[in-house]
């Protein structure tokens, strides 16, 4: 099975459409590691695309916060304003879909998906020390996660944890060989709000018949997504940050 792995779309329809078009013909099923909505101006269009096309989705903290309006004390003022805006923008059908998204981990053939970490959907796996605490609890050698908006991840090679870097700025793709002796925490990168200094949308293609996966980065119409955020009355910072990928 060939999977298109998405994460942290954050209501950015321009980046989602660009990623899907970029990956066209190279996948059979779509999976998403959460945060369909929050921050961007197209929560309904993005949710409807995911409802129609994704075979598996775990909920993210922004999905949960935008429908329930709880946990907002953990959000900074900009994220809180976006969650409240999104709450009012969502149609009842889309809110119902988001409300029923399962909490990770979600198991597939030989791998699993989570939003933050397998132990806590709200936890950020940012560094080798964070990942080291998680590898001992993994039930599959391959886990896809999101939440940090940083493409790459971590390898446990039975001796230590090593970092997988993002796709280089001059490259469109990066191939990672999967060693059966190792375990992997893979972040496909954020589709709709990258924070690793590269504004390009990120995703991963993974074919379960192959012993590698491929990270991708692609440009999209950032200006259009920014205009929609500004016109929607969302905090302008949410538009500005898309250009810098921070």
Question: What is the three-class DSSP state of 99?
Answer: helix
- Cα dihedral sign for 100, 102, 108, 114? positive
Closest CB to Zn ion among residues 35, 42: 35
Output the smallest distance, CB 149 to Zn ion, in A: 6
Alpha carbon distance 200, 10 (integer Å): 14
Closest CB to Zn ion among residues 35, 123: 35
From candidates 17, 35, 63, 123, binder to Zn ion by CB under 5 A: 35
Alpha carbon distance 4, 195 (integer Å): 20
Q: Is 196 in the site for Zn ion (CB under 5 A)?
A: no
Taking the chain, what is the end-to-end CA distance rounded to the nearest angstrom? 33
Contacts of 161 (CB under 8 A, 6+ apart): 128, 131, 132, 135, 154, 155
Region near Zn ion per CB under 5 A, out of 12-20, 28-36, 131-139, 229-237: 28-36
Closest CB to Zn ion among residues 11, 23: 11
From candidates 3, 5, 6, 8, binder to Zn ion by CB under 5 A: 8
Output the smallest distance, CB 39 to Zn ion, in A: 8
- Contact residues for Zn ion, defined by CB under 5 A: 8, 35
């Amino acid at each position: 099975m060939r999977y298109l792995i998405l994460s942290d779309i954050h209501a950015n329809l321009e980046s989602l459409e660009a990623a899907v078009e970029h990956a066209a013909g190279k996948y059979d099923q779509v999976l998403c590691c959460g945060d369909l909505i929050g921050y961007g101006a197209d929560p309904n269009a993005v949710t409807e695309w995911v409802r129609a096309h994704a075979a598996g989705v775990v909920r993210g903290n922004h999905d949960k916060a935008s429908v329930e309006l709880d946990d907002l004390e953990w959000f900074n003022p900009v994220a809180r304003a976006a969650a409240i805006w999104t709450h009012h923008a969502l149609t009842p059908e889309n809110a119902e879909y988001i409300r029923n998204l399962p909490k990770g981990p979600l198991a597939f053939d030989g791998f699993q998906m989570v939003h933050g970490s397998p132990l806590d959907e709200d936890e950020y796996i940012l560094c080798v020390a964070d990942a080291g605490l998680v590898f001992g609890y993994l039930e599959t050698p391959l886990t896809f996660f999101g939440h940090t908006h940083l493409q790459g991840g971590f390898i446990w090679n039975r001796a230590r944890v090593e970092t997988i870097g993002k796709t280089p700025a001059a490259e469109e793709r990066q191939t990672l060989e999967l060693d059966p002796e190792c375990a992997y925490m893979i972040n496909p990168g954020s589709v709709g709000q990258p924070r690793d200094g590269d504004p390009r949308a990120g995703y991963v293609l993974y074919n379960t018949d192959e012993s590698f996966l491929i990270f991708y980065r692609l440009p999209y119409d950032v200006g259009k997504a920014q205009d929609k955020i500004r016109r929607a009355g969302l905090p302008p910072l949410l538009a500005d940050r898309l250009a810098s990928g921070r």
